[in-house]
Amino acid sequence: MDRKQHQNVQESGTSSTAQKVGSTDSLSAPEMGVGSLLESLSENTKQGLADEIPLLEGESVKGIDPDVTYLCPYGVPIRGTLTVTNYKLYFRSQDREHPLILDVPLGVCSRVEKIGGSTSKGENSYGIDIHCKDFRHLRFAHKQENHSRRQIFEKIQQYAFPITYKKPFFAFEFQGKYDVEDGWRIYDPIVEYKRQGLPTESWRITRINENYEISDSYPAILAVPTAASDDDLRHISDFRTRSRFPVLSWIHPESQATITRSSQPMVGVAGKHNKEDERYIQMIMDANAQSHKLYIMDARPFVNAVANRARGGGFESEDSYQNAELIFLDIHNIHVMRESSRKLKEECFPAIDETHWLSKIEATHWLEHIKVILAGAVRVADKVESNKTSVLVHCSDGWDRTAQLTSLAMLMLDPYYRTIRGFEVLVEKEWISFGHKFKQRVGHGEDKHSDDNRSPVFLQFIDCVWQMTKQFPNAFEFNEHFLITILDHLYSCLFGTFLYNCEMQRVKEKVSERTVSLWSFINCQMEEFTNPLYAAYVHAHVLLPVTSLRRIHLWTGYYCRWNPRMRPQEPIHLRNQGAVGAESTATKASGRATERTSLQAGSRQTTTFPSTHVRLQ
């Protein structure tokens, strides 16, 4: 596969791994009954249109409308050809010298609607409206007399929402080959626990959940206190929501202080006790010889935790869990975060209010939420590093805010996770294997845009990581492009990495056997995602970022990247490099002039900190 072509489309922030197909087979895959318009086109016309579309291995054209108008929010309407494949929506303007190209994976579509009816008046009042998960909003106008809107709309619906229409994710059709590395081998729980120094006298690795019988949302392999038998684990699991009992995430290589994670205890309104759970928490405490105390970090606001008692949940009583201190971190629930994200999208696309920009961003509360999440992770990391005290982290179910806190704290504590492969391991371990519900939170493949289960939990985590890279610009091996690529493919459904809600479902669907891993794509072109400022020897220690709002910034390189007025001007030396390069110069130039986005990070100042424990001021 041509990596250069791959890169060209990746720069658009949309489809990746693109490959032009010039054979007559490139349009042979449209299904019977694709639509009267497609069928009415001559073979030469169909072939000519298909030849202009970069297709992936396994991708095929499903519908074409050669006369559509893109209602660009930043300029005049643009006429061109709209093509729908089983993976993407592809629009190319009629201007052949400087074409505008939209290349949008259908997985990014959140809502698709028809606009206008048979009685609509006006040239551009009849068409299709597409709301995207990556902060875009696309609108296309169709000519009523062509009767083409219905078949294009239906094809977009079918392949944007394959679960609703009982079709497979495109990841199961994609046949991309990456010979450098198999991304599915990046994370091996046994190898990762051994890297952390396990097993020890105090911690062991167990396969008690190998068949997912204890907890269907936990991974098969877990690390638990040596003092706890498998029978103990079976008894205590019933006292935690979804049977997500406390297990090890990370252990300090020197002090043996740990970060463990779980769900809330099921104390209920009556304030029930569970002696087995209390004894188990004591085992976690005793496994750390440096301290006889444990901090329980409850991610929720106190009021929300109390309200959960009415639903059978709740929080630990300090009277029952002796030597444990309970701290509430005030991170709001998925519904509050979803509303904040919606408001942020409204301010970033399509129009930006220059006069009231700062006040309107403040009104979204997005940066406040990022600050609170980061501050919570700093508290976890600081207790482990400075106090040499173990920390148990949980929220309600233990797969949203808990994952944010444990993974960010581990990123602060362990420089391994700041490398490209280490970060991939971190995401696989704390998010994917431990059952963050990607399918529900992102809404993969389902036509349910108003689903209450959707929430930008993982997006907030990546935003927090970006905040850290801004404060410590030479401490991370990866660059901004790496983070944006991960988010793009969180939605694209091109790779199997983020599909489904838990490890058990992925095993059942044979995801690692039938799909390609995102890490295979990234690791075959590491130079594209490497931070040139990275200096491993400088920051081989703990990083504690400042969480004051004065140091928290809006990530315009992601949230505002579709707005041409918010893009930074490309440095002249980079522009000259692009002009010299022979490969796809026209494509790159047109991309910069239109919807294709340059993901070049701005220059960063390198700062060196001589101490082994860094806190920015």
Instruction: Could you list the residues known to form a binding site for substrate, using ranges.
Output: 333-334, 395-401
Sign of the dihedral through C-alpha 263, 269, 275, 279:
positive
Q: What residues does 613 pair with on adjacent strands?
A: 542
Query: Measured at the alpha carbon of residue 229, what is the angle toward residues 225 and 232, in degrees to the nearest 5?
Result: 100
Helix (H) or strand (E) holding 78: strand 78-85
Distance CA 69, CA 127 (A): 9
Sign of the dihedral through C-alpha 292, 264, 193, 614:
negative
Amino acid (1-letter code) at residue 212 = Y
Alpha-carbon distances of 488 from 17, 503, 580, rounded to whole Å: 13, 22, 29
Binding positions are 333-334, 395-401
Question: Helices 457-471 and 366-385 meet at what angle, rounded to 10?
Answer: 70
Residue 77 in contact with residue 71, Cβ under 8 Å?
A: yes
- Residue 512's contacts (CB-CB under 8 Å, 6 or more residues apart) are 184, 496, 506
User: Among 538, 260, 269, 254, which Cα is nearest to 402's?
Assistant: 260
User: Among 557, 559, 554, which Cα is nearest to 598's?
Assistant: 557
Task: Sort residue 35 into left (φ over 0), alpha (ψ -120 to 50) or beta.
Answer: left
Give the number of residues written for the chain: 617
Distance CA 233, CA 222 (A): 11
359-397 core/surface letters (b: 16 or more CB in 10 A; e: else): ebbeebbbbebbbbbbbbbbbbbbbbbeebbbbbbbbbb
Amino acid (1-letter code) at residue 522 = I
With helix as H, strand as E and coil as C, how does 589-609 read?
A: HHHHHCCCCCCCCCCCCCCCC
User: Among 90, 17, 3, 14, which Cα is nearest to 516's?
Assistant: 17
DSSP letter for 201, please.
S
Catalytic residue status for 395: yes
Q: What share of residues in the chain are helix, strand, coil (percent, to 5)?
A: 40, 15, 45
Residue 422 sits at φ, ψ, to 5 deg, of: -65, -40
Distance CA 424, CA 12 (A): 23
Write down the catalytic residue from 72, 132, 395, 524: 395
CA 318 vs. chain centroid, Å, equals 36
Residue 105 in contact with residue 15, Cβ under 8 Å?
A: yes
Query: Is cis: bond before 199, omega within 30 of 0?
Result: yes
Helix (H) or strand (E) holding 467: helix 457-471
- Among all residues, which ones are annotated catalytic? 395
